[in-house]
């Protein structure tokens, strides 16, 4: 017992107050260590004394889908498979996206004895991706709804990457016919552009 307490103290010294969540799970599913971070939930402070499976913790209690994902990832890791998932967790400051990686830890005989769970904050990236997707959808909607011809080009290859119905009417080509063509595609034959 004394050795286990010393190990816990060493782990706490190494991992507490990192911005990365570190959880060590025994092969039987019991949490043997959970570090404290700025996003730590109250039940994580008693992780080693609670008789809970990782997916039963407060961080995942808001969504059965997230609980099922964590459970599936742990089961896969127990079959020697490294897993990585984007999980929405509940924190004292609200919901937060984390990238959860689960790594199997093998003993000298190659048997899985523990799992190392690593959680990295990807909340800003997920929110920016959602904003970018929204902006892209708005841009496409504007292109399709405007009565004027709109042509989009890739700036790196100068190939046509999008156009609307007004462009089809003006030039007489469907987007499928024009996609990937260069600017010279729209210049009538016999005309030279300098």
Q: May I ask the CATH architecture of the domain 2-123?
A: 2-Layer Sandwich (3.30)
Question: For position 159, what pLDDT does the model report?
Answer: 92
Of 73, 103, 72, 99, nearest to 86 by C-alpha is 99
Question: For position 184, what pLDDT does the model report?
Answer: 83
CATH 3.30.450.20 corresponds to the domain 128-186 = yes
User: Tell me: the pLDDT tens digits for 145-163?
Assistant: 999 999 998 989 989 988 8
Tell whether pTM > 0.85: no
Domain ranges of the chain: 2-123, 128-186
Question: For position 12, what pLDDT does the model report?
Answer: 62
Residue percentage of the chain with pLDDT more than 70: 80
What would the mean pLDDT of 46-58 be, rounded to a whole number?
Answer: 63
Q: State the distance between the two ends of the chain, measured CA to CA, in whole angstroms.
A: 84
Q: Any bridge partners for residue 105, and if so which? A: 114
User: Tell me: the pLDDT tens digits for 166-190?
Assistant: 999 998 999 999 899 888 888 877 7
**Helix, strand, or coil (residue 82):** coil
């Amino acid at each position: 017992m004394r050795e286990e307490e010393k190990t816990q103290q060493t782990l706490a010294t190494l991992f507490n107050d990192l911005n990365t969540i570190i959880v060590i799970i025994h092969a039987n599913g019991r949490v043997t260590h959970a570090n404290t971070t700025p996003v730590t939930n109250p039940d994580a402070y008693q992780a080693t004394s609670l008789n809970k499976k990782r997916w039963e913790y407060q961080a995942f209690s808001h969504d059965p889908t997230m609980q099922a994902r964590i459970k599936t990832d742990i089961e896969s890791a127990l079959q020697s498979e490294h897993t990585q998932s984007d999980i929405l967790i509940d924190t004292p400051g609200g919901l937060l996206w984390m990238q959860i990686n689960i790594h199997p830890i093998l003993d000298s005989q190659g048997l899985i004895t523990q799992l190392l769970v690593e959680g990295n904050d990807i909340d800003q990236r997920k929110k920016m991706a959602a904003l970018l997707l929204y902006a892209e959808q708005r841009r496409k909607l504007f292109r399709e709804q405007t009565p004027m011809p709109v042509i989009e080009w890739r700036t790196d290859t100068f190939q046509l990457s999008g156009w609307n119905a007004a462009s089809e009417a003006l030039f007489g080509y469907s987007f499928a016919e024009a996609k990937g063509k260069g600017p010279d595609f729209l210049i009538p034959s016999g005309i030279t552009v300098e």
